[in-house]
Chain A
Amino acid sequence: MFAFLIYILTLICIYSIIVMSLNLAMGYTGLVNFGHIGLLGVGAYTSAILTTKFDVSFIFAITFAAILCALIGALLSIPSRKIKDDYFALLTLGFLFVSGAVFINWTDMTRGTLGIRGIVRPEGFAEPISFFVLTFIMSLVTFFILEKVTNSPFGRVLEAIRDDEQVAESLGKNIDRAKMVAMTLSGFFVGIAGVFMAHFIRFINPASFWLDPLVISLAAVVIGGLASLRGSILGVILVFTISESLRFLSLPSTMIGPMRVILFMIVLLVVILFRPKGIIGRADLD
């Protein structure tokens, strides 16, 4: 039981980073980035390729991956000037599709659908416990940095943009720059999460970065609450608790899989319908 808990807790920490950074874009700034999981994949693949093919150190790989994802995040923010809301979501979903196509088709680097295996954990952190501690520290660091950012005057600019872009602009705020900074930070942290994901699971393939993790992350942001980092962590914990405890329901074996998804989605719908703020969100879905 203990090692299983550690496994789930490590996943929870990694997902906390993913979801907090998604919340920075989605909850604080109002940029619904469906390409977030694409960025996660870019981070994971970059680090996996660098460490398995080019033998670079974990520190170098994580730095490189994070900076690359930050740059892509910045690029993704550019169209948000003209393209908003659902359309931005659709466009960033396009980024997810394009990145997925790159993972599948750039076979020289990514081995295509066969995936990359033999990814090792950084030295000294090979044991599940020590790797968990490392991941935990990383998620705390992410939390404190993002907490600082969102509580700063800059954070209030972001929320002003989310609530009403025109008002924010008329107050003399440089909204394009603010959005770009938010997306850069979001990309930076999700890149780090990707690196941790790759080195935790130790095997990645294109299917790891497709629609499933996107649904999980969106659900966690919404259940936890928009514009609340604590909410995001809570959301991840709840999402994992729900979906993991559904493992323990005794259902007929052929029903287990679909029933799990069905129950999970019903919970999500109930939250959206009856508590649109999420558990401790500050911004409302209403």
Chain B
Amino acid sequence: MWIIAQIFINAIIAGSVYALVASGLTFIYATSRIFHLAHGVVILFGAYIFHFVWVEQGLSPALGVLFSILGSVAIGLLMNELVYEQQRKRHAKRLAYLISTIALLMLGTSSIILIFNTSLKSFNIQTTVYRFDQLNITLMQIILIVISCFLLLILSAVVKYTKFGKAMRATSDNDEVASIMGINTRQIRRLSFGIGSLLAAVAGILIGLEFNIDPNMGVYLAIKGFTAMVIGGVGSIGGAIFGAFLVGFFEQIAVWYFGAGWKNSIAFVLLFFFLLLRPRGIFGLKRFR
């Protein structure tokens, strides 16, 4: 029995990381319809900058968080302005975005190797472990779960109740209609890239603290985030979060029953069934085209 409970805890820890990734992606996807795979390296930049400022320069962690957020947001916005917006001006097909985001992903990963090199970056945090009989969870993990839940709640509120949220949803439904109605869709996209990249920085910091960092993590994070987002239902923050926990849970189950070799495949198997049987995702607002 304790084993099932522990698997559940493990799934929640993995799920909160995926949820942070997936919700950032959801913001970006909702307004721009871009499968922003390069989000993976934006997350990594956040983590590396945090490590650089805090551990290597020995400055305060608060400063680390600040620089990390600034850096990630700047990189996310740059990607949007320099690449995606240029493509949008030419009414590029979705395939074009897909290729350019892959190019940005590769570019970013190599830049990280060049700037920060490949050596082990660990934060070496000692946290308290709470044990209940056989079960265990650490303070760091609780912080991770709490921060991601808190952030995600705020964001859902922003989307639901603010003017920006409404404009964002309008853009998401139909950007042409939205711009006719006087919404500056370009500005909305910028904002959503900004928020998405901010979430990326937070995700990067938390992932770094909990798991250490290495330059090739970006691809996997982005792919997991995407499957979670699509499973949950495109355009819905709640859906992305639910999808993230679902992916986390099934991964742990797969590891337990089939061995870790199939861990990365299980998200796709889930994705396949959802796309076929429930194409809106769990909480999807609208059917994808």
Contact = CB atoms under 8 A, between A and B. Distances in A.
A and B touch in the complex (CB under 8 A): yes
Interface of A: 26, 32, 79, 82-87, 89-91, 93-95, 97-98, 101, 104-105, 211, 215, 218-219, 222, 226, 255, 257-259, 261-262, 265-266, 268-269, 272-273, 276, 284-286
B191 to A, nearest CB: 22
Contacts of B114: 255, 258-259, 262
Nearest to B258: A105
Contact of B227 (A90, A259, A286): A90
Contacts of A90: 35, 226-227, 230, 271
Contacts of A89: 35, 98
B163 interface: no
| Interface of chain B, main secondary structure | helix
A28 to B, nearest CB: 13
Interface of B: 35, 83, 86-87, 90-96, 98-100, 102-104, 106-107, 109-111, 113-114, 219, 223, 226-227, 230, 259, 261-262, 264-265, 267-269, 271-272, 275-276, 279, 288-289
Nearest 7 A/B pairs, CB to CB: A94-B268, A285-B96, A105-B261, A258-B110, A261-B110, A265-B107, A258-B114
Given A91-B268, A222-B99, A82 B275 contact: yes
A215 B230 contact: no
A79 B83 contact: no
A245 to B, nearest CB: 18
Contacts of B111: 258, 262
A94 B269 contact: yes
B94 A86 contact: yes
Nearest to A214: B102
Contacts of A276: 87, 90, 92, 96
Given A87-B230, A93-B268, A285 B259 contact: no
B275 A83 contact: yes
Contacts of A85: 94-95, 289
A268 B104 CA distance: 10
Nearest to B91: A286
Contacts of B275: 79, 82-83, 87, 91
Nearest to A107: B261
Nearest to B34: A86
A82 B113 contact: no
Contact of B106 (A84, A86, A265, A284): A265
B95 A285 contact: yes
23 contacts: A82-B279, A83-B279, A84-B289, A86-B94, A90-B227, A91-B272, A91-B275, A101-B265, A226-B95, A258-B113, A261-B109, A262-B107, A262-B111, A265-B106, A266-B107, A269-B83, A269-B100, A269-B107, A272-B96, A272-B100, A276-B96, A285-B95, A285-B99
